[in-house]
Structure 1
Amino acid sequence: MLVFALKRFVVGILVMLAVSTITFTLTNVAADPARTIAGEGASAADVEAIREAYGFDRPIIVRYGEWLGGALRADLGDSYRQRRPVVDVVMERLPVTMSLGGLAFAIAILAAIPLGIIAGLRPNSWIDRASLTFALIGQAMPTFWFALLGIVVFSVTLKWLPVSGSSSLSHFVLPAVVLAYYATPTLMRLTRAGMIEVMQSDYIRTAKAKGLRTGKIVLKHALRNAILPLVSVAAVQFGFMLGGSVVVETIFAMRGVGYLAWESITYSDLPVVQAIVLTIAAIYVVLTLAADIMNAWLDPRLRSN
């Protein structure tokens, strides 16, 4: 198990290195950092002075090496817009995004697994068809449209929930439901497919022949094997909720990392953009590593890979 975890850890480090390289290269090639700092009305002499002062005239590989060394020390430079350390800027917004993503993930899991189990135990029934219809609508509906619809119904018309902000728990309910509804169909369909496959297995038929109760068969024997694919996908979906919260946080004006990303892109605050991409990538790697280890614990056969 330790060797398996170490192999996955090395792969995660390589992924992070690749992400950091691509992110730094694209952000420095897509825009001139010196002109971004100087502003649109700056003269060529001012831009050149800033380029020399910040070292932007040096080869990109040298600047990348310095930036990577700083990243290893949790020093990602200063924000062009806010004139303070990027790490502080991102860490201020991260709790909002983590809270939103965590609540959305909990809602998705609590909705998807029971629906998937029920649909998998009764394939082709009205419950199964209703669940698949729910999944189809969730995957086809644009996130921004569902968010705006929720605001119109629950905030403007019924006045049950606030329109925007992130100062209380009530501000998180509607955005979390919007994020969760996009992830729920995928998790539900995986659970359903896993249950249908597992319930047709020989060991399940043997358990039924022994007279075990259906609830015990499902919870103790079937569910453990049925959720193996779900673990990996759930980790990716949670990462998507954190990284893909830009639209939701912008619509609901929640001051999280997603909204910060939109602001930083709008104002060409490249160090903050780089830090956000690196942070989300690190979260993805950690979640994937945790999912691989959990899958290996649930299914020892995976440890030989």
Structure 2
Amino acid sequence: MLSYFLRRLGRAAITIVAVSLIVFVAVRATGDPTFSLVAEDATEAEIAEVRAELGLDRPYFVQYAIYVGDVISGDFGTSLRYKQPAFDLVVQRLPATLQLALAAFILSTVFGILLGILAALRQGRWPDMAIRAFAALGLSAPSFWVGILAILLFGVMLQWLPTSGRAHPLSLLLPAMTLALHSMASIVRLTRSAMLETSSAEYIKFLRSKGLPERLIIWKHALRNALVPIVAILGLQLSNLVGGAVIIEVVFNWPGVGRLMIEALVNHDFPVIQAGVLLITLSTVLVNLAIDMSYGVIDPRIKYQ
């Protein structure tokens, strides 16, 4: 198990380095931030001086080497717009993003598993067909479109919930439900398939023949063995929720990392974009690593090679 963990840790490190390199090059392809930092009537000499101060006059590989060295030493650069450490800005917005992602994760996990189990138990009946239709809609509908409809219905027409910001205690509901919809649909479909497959296994038929209560068979035996593929997708869904929060934060004006990165992208604020992407990548890799290591706890038959 230790050797497996070390191999996964090595792959995680390679992933982080690869993402940092791609983002480093990509953000510089969006434009030169120098022109947003100088006056409109700035001379070529003044522009060149600012570019030299930012280190943008050096070759990409030199800039990247300096960037990596700074990151290793704990320096993620200074925001070109806010004139504050980029990492501090991202960390300040991180609680809002985590709150949104975790709320969506809880909603999608709880309701996704319950609806998936219900659909499996009522296979071929109207609850199954209704839940499958809901899952198909959740997978196909774009999140920004669902968010706009939610704002129009619950915020404008019914006026039940706030639609912007984070000040009101109920402000979390609409963005969390919108963000959770796609993930919930995926969990519903996988839970239904896993439960149907597990319920038809020979040991489940044996337990029924012994006269065990159906509720005990479903919740203690069938669900536990169906949890391995479900847990696998939960790790992916949590990662997707953190990344997918970018669009939802913009739609609902949620003050999280995603909205900060969109603002930084518009303003060519390279350090903030790089710090934000690196932090999201690190959290995603760690979540996936934790999910991988939890398989053996859920199913002792799984052996790590």
With over 3 angstroms needed to count, the CA separation of the structure-2 counterparts of 1:45 and 1:249, relative to structure 1, is: same
Task: Give, in whole Å, the separation in 2 of the partners of 1:70 and 1:303.
Answer: 40
Aligned-residue offset at 1:114 = 0.6
Aligned equivalent of 2:151: 151
Superposed, which structure 2 residues align to 1:46-65 within 5 Å?
A: 46-65=46-65
With over 3 angstroms needed to count, the CA separation of the structure-2 counterparts of 1:55 and 1:300, relative to structure 1, is: same
Question: Which segment drifts farther, 109-118 or 41-50?
Answer: 41-50
Aligned-residue offset at 1:41 = 5.1
Task: Give, in whole Å, the separation in 2 of the partners of 1:281 and 1:39.
Answer: 36
Superposed, which structure 2 residues align to 1:158-237 within 5 Å?
A: 158-237=158-237
Superposed, which structure 2 residues align to 1:25-64 within 5 Å?
A: 25-38=25-38, 42-64=42-64
With over 3 angstroms needed to count, the CA separation of the structure-2 counterparts of 1:235 and 1:38, relative to structure 1, is: farther
Aligned letter for 2:57? D
Secondary structure at 2:303's aligned position in 1? helix
Aligned equivalent of 2:10: 10
Task: Give, in whole Å, the separation in 2 of the partners of 1:272 and 1:109.
Answer: 31
Question: Which segment drifts farther, 146-155 or 57-66?
Answer: 57-66
Aligned-residue offset at 1:127 = 1.3
Task: Give, in whole Å, the separation in 1 of the partners of 2:42 and 2:121.
Answer: 67
Task: Give, in whole Å, the separation in 2 of the partners of 1:76 and 1:191.
Answer: 41
Q: Which runs of 5+ in 2 are unaligned?
A: none
Aligned letter for 2:216? K
User: CA deviation digits over 1:71-94, x for unaligned, max 9?
Assistant: 233321000110110011101111
Aligned letter for 1:102? L
Task: Give, in whole Å, the separation in 2 of the partners of 1:146 and 1:91.
Answer: 28
User: CA deviation digits over 1:142-169, x for unaligned, max 9?
Assistant: 2112111111121112221112111232
Aligned equivalent of 1:71: 71
User: CA deviation digits over 1:87-127, x for unaligned, max 9?
Assistant: 11101111101001111111111110011111112321211
User: CA deviation digits over 1:211-241, x for unaligned, max 9?
Assistant: 2111111111111121211212111111211
Question: Which segment drifts farther, 249-258 or 58-67?
Answer: 58-67
Q: 2:191·2:226 contact (CA, 8 Å) conserved in 1?
A: yes
Aligned letter for 1:194? A
Q: 2:246·2:258 contact (CA, 8 Å) conserved in 1?
A: yes
Task: Give, in whole Å, the separation in 1 of the partners of 2:290 and 2:203.
Answer: 29
Q: Which runs of 5+ in 1 are unaligned?
A: none
Cα RMSD for the two superposed structures: 1.7
With over 3 angstroms needed to count, the CA separation of the structure-2 counterparts of 1:300 and 1:152, relative to structure 1, is: same
Q: 1:117·1:192 contact (CA, 8 Å) conserved in 2?
A: yes
Equivalenced residues, count? 305
With over 3 angstroms needed to count, the CA separation of the structure-2 counterparts of 1:26 and 1:296, relative to structure 1, is: same
Aligned equivalent of 1:94: 94
Question: Which segment drifts farther, 195-204 or 44-53?
Answer: 44-53
Task: Give, in whole Å, the separation in 2 of the partners of 1:26 and 1:138.
Answer: 31
TM-score (normalizing by structure 1): 0.94
Aligned letter for 2:290? A
Aligned equivalent of 2:257: 257
Aligned letter for 2:138? G
Aligned letter for 2:38? A
